[in-house]
Amino acid sequence: MAVYPAGYSVYTVKLNADITVAVEAHNIPASPPYVVTLLHPAKYDPPKVTVTISGFAEVHTTPQAGQFDVDYMNMYRIIFNSANAGQPILVTYLTKGDLYVAGHINDLQDAVVRVEHTLGLNPQGGSATVSARIAALEGSALLLFADQEVPSGTIDGANPTFQSAQVPLSGSDHLFRNGVLQLRGTNYTIAGKVITYFAGYIPQVGDAHRISYRYV
């Protein structure tokens, strides 16, 4: 495996460009703490990017109604006021995804493949150069995130079928029953928007039922 010079442009120059603008859908918790954590914080140095939330203003103190404060140094936690408890929000921010400056061309190739898989793209591979693959990713990584969404469907202990609001990207669904992660293929299956529980795992009356996923 060849080791290229540190300044070799094919794998250092373009990695410093912004790859995507991430948009995540969240619900502000209905009970304290009123904190939302971003799913894909940007990898920046210094670790700060612009976070915008429609209808809210950013402050750098204890937030009041209609305000938020971002803890950029602690997993990008967004802090809200109790007056906005339970409110749905859309969070927009810049991110570099999983790309990083690699000291070895093979490390960079691995990183590009991970990003392509994250975006649900077929890795280009073959004769495509690494620089061409990175260029193809720029601007194409607009993903939306549903966080703790309540699937539609009747919870009565008998109904096994529920539905998400959007079609989750393959492998991105995380289904929770009473806070416990359900295992795809063991507890349930999902096809498009349709969630089907296997016998013995059907949500019962009073259960908390949530799903988080990525979609485009």
DSSP string for residues in 159-197:
--EEE-SS-PPTT--EEEETTEEPPBTTTEEEETTEEEE
* DSSP state, residue 66: T
Percent of the chain with pLDDT over 70: 58
Instruction: Note whether 149 and 210 are within 8 A (CB).
Output: yes
Please write the tens of the pLDDT for every residue from 10-47: 333 233 344 455 678 889 999 989 999 887 665 444 44
**What is the average per-residue pLDDT within 186-198?**
95
Q: Is 129 helix (H, G, I), strand (E, B) or coil?
A: coil
Instruction: For residue 101, give both structure tokens.
Output: 């400056």
The residue-averaged pLDDT of 85-105 equals 64
Report the distance separating Cα 111 and Cα 184, nearest Å: 26
| CA distance linking residue 90 with residue 79, whole number of Å | 14
pLDDT of res. 142: 43
Tell me the pLDDT band of 183, cut-offs 50, 70 and 90: very high
Q: What's residue 44's pLDDT?
A: 42
- 216 or 69, which is more confident: 69
**How do beta strands 180-181 and 67-71 pair?**
unpaired
Q: What is the pLDDT of residue 10?
A: 32
Residue pair 113/107 in contact by the 8 Å Cβ criterion: no
Query: What was the pLDDT predicted at 212?
Result: 87
132 and 56 Cβ atoms separated by less than 8 Å: no
**Global confidence as pTM:** 0.41
**Which two tokens mark 2?**
């060849």
Q: Is residue 37 within a helix (H) or strand (E), and if so which, with residue range?
A: strand 35-37
Q: Are 68 and 34 in contact (CB under 8 A)?
A: no
pLDDT bin (cut points 50, 70, 90) of residue 3 is very low
pLDDT tens-digit series, residues 129-175: 555 665 555 544 445 677 788 999 999 999 999 999 988 887 888 99
Determine the residue type at 184.
Answer: R
Residue 1: the pLDDT is 30
Contacts of residue 174, Cβ cutoff 8 Å, sequence gap at least 6: 181, 211, 212, 213
Q: Give per-residue burial for 77-94: e unless 16+ CB within 10 Å, then b.
A: bbbbbeebeebebebebe
Helix (H) or strand (E) holding 134: helix 130-137
The residue-averaged pLDDT of 183-197 equals: 95
Give the residue with greater pLDDT, 12 vs 202: 202
The answer to whether the CB of 39 falls within 8 A of the CB of 47 is no
Which tokens belong to 87? 């409110």
